[in-house]
Amino acid sequence: MSDALKGELIFHCIELSPKFEQVIIIPLSDIHFGNPMFSHHHLDNAIDLIASKPNHFTLLNGDLAECVVKGSKGDISEQTNKVQAQFEYIRDKFMPIKDRILGVDQGNHEERISEAAQIDLCDMWAKAWGCPYGREEIMIRVRFGGGNSRHPDQPYVFFIHATHGYGGARTKGAKNVKVERQSHQVHADIYLQSHDHDASVQAGVYLMPHARTYTDKSTGRTVGSMLAVDKKLVKTGAFLKRGGYSARKGYDPVSLGLTYIKLIGDHGHPRVRVEM
Ligand SMILES: [Fe+2]
Ligand SMILES: [Fe+2]
């Protein structure tokens, strides 16, 4: 059993090119392949976009396949493919960009297969693609570039914590508070959460004590300054068009847009931007 499957949170180290000045991460989740409302067109565009530049990457945050099984939630007669075919489609679809996948975790839809049959599809995908896997959550450290703190050989370092998400929510506030809670639990630069099928970005800053100290001239006391550290909270969107379950249950239609996380390391200080 790998360390990531023992349940204790560890971080996976991803070393990217020292030549990169920026790294773009386009996280994907809630593809729900096998659902009749799945949009092939949007997934094809997302994969083409990630493949288009060497500094573009993704992290796969669960619910990649629909995974309706006997006795589970969902209507098995509406499912467009058997779970075996869903597994193979996702595996093959991402194979051309397997080296751009920074990590994988499990959604509640794949969890149905784990619970029913003790088969972890997400672990099997991660093994096929050769990328890190964490079942309930995954933490990665990304390093790239040079020039951090004005040292030419020092890379920029960013931490990303991702987990699929849980429970129900209908309002933006109820959806976003879940990623806000996540951000109180683990120290990271980026928090990724999915499941609510509604992309959003919340920008935050927190104040971290700097390791270095100095003598305050007026009091003679030893003091230190506080650094303002970016803390970005990202909810990823879905690849499901309006209809079927969401219409039946009265959920709002949601944008099928992507979120772009820009890790910037070209001016001596690490910065994070998120765009939709
Ligand atoms: Fe989902
Ligand atoms: Fe989900």
Ion ligand 2 residue ranges (Cβ < 5 Å) = 63, 107-108, 195
> Which residue from 178, 177, 154, 151 is spatially nearest to 166, judged by alpha carbons?
178
Say whether pLDDT at 5 is over 60. no
Largest CA distance in the chain: 76
What is the structure's pLDDT at 135? 95
Eight-class DSSP state of 197: S
Compute the distance from residue 188 Cα to the ligand 1 centre, in Å.
Answer: 24
Burial class (CB in 10 A: 0-12, 13-18, 19+), 126: buried
pLDDT in tens, 257-271: 899 999 998 765 667
Say whether pLDDT at 185 is over 90. yes
Q: Which domains, from first to last, does the chain contain?
A: 9-275 (3.60.21)
Using a cut of 0.75, tell me whether the model's pTM lies above it: yes
List of residues 6+ apart from 195 with CB closer than 8 A: 29, 30, 62, 63, 107, 108, 164, 165, 166, 167
Say whether pLDDT at 197 is over 90. yes
Compute the distance from residue 63 Cα to the ligand 1 centre, in Å.
Answer: 5
Say whether pLDDT at 3 is over 60. no
Q: To the nearest whole number, what is the mean pLDDT of the chain?
A: 92
**Which phi and psi angles does 178 have, rounded to 5°?**
-70, -40
Give the amino acid at 104. V
